Structure formats: structure tokens, C-alpha cells
Amino acid sequence: MIERACFSEISAFRRSPTKVLAAQGLCLSIGFLHSEKKGRNSLVWDAIEPLRPAINAKVFSFIEAHEFARRDFPQSGYNVHRLSRDVTQLLLHQASLPAGEIEEAAEWMTKTIMHSASPIIDAREGRRGLVIPSL
């Protein structure tokens, strides 16, 4: 449970892949591994997946080295607890991946999508586009 809360907090770094993927004109809300959900950039979460083992290793190291107290998990709703702001800042400081690794993962996702897409021409409308094969 602590690992999930920590992973959610550290995934705040997803702004970097968002910029890389959006710059390529990709639709961020449509992912391959993560389903579409209102307000979620599923493709960004997909781009982060290859980094999950490295993130998890850092999160588990943080958990192992940190002594938690009840105050580290303030209640934010009925039966809902979050990491405190202080623990979140400490976690982000100690467990964040270098920006270059994050951007590299996003660039890999972009190349993979573009490699898998086939250019088409819509004869009726004279438009060019991409067809991405279904998985």
C-alpha cells in the first residue's frame, strides 16, 4: 500500500514526457496499456511504464530507509489517506529519475508509435494521415 502511494506521488514527474509526446502531435489521451479515462493522459502513463522497475527500486529503497509515523499519512477523505506534503517532497527529492531518462522513454514511445503507423491518403478528402494498427 505504501509502495502504491509513493509511486503515485513520484509519477508527478510525468510532465516531461507530456511535452515530448505532445510536441510530436500525438493524442495523449489514447494509450495502449492504460485505458482512456476522462482527464488522464493514458499515453503519458504508457511512456512511463518502461521506467517502472527503476522507479519501484527507488521507492522501495526510500521505504526501507524511512521510518514512517502515523502523521505521515493524513486522512483526506473517508478511509482515504495520502502521503503528507513533507514525506512527498522528501520522496521526490530522493527517488526522482533524471529528466534525461524520462525524456528518453517518451522519445522511445514516440518512435515506436510512428514506426508502427502506416501513412494513408484519404482519396475522398485528399488528406494524409496515419493509421495505427490495432493491437
Burial class (CB in 10 A: 0-12, 13-18, 19+), 109: buried
| More confident position, 119 or 25 | 25
The pTM (predicted TM-score) of the whole model is 0.64
Band the pLDDT of 12: cuts 50, 70, 90.
Answer: very low
**Which domains are present in the chain?**
2-131 (1.20.120.920)
Tell me the per-residue pLDDT of 78-125, one tens digit each, with 9 for 90 and over. Answer: 989 888 999 988 988 888 888 788 888 888 888 888 777 665 544 455
Share of the chain above pLDDT 90, in %: 16
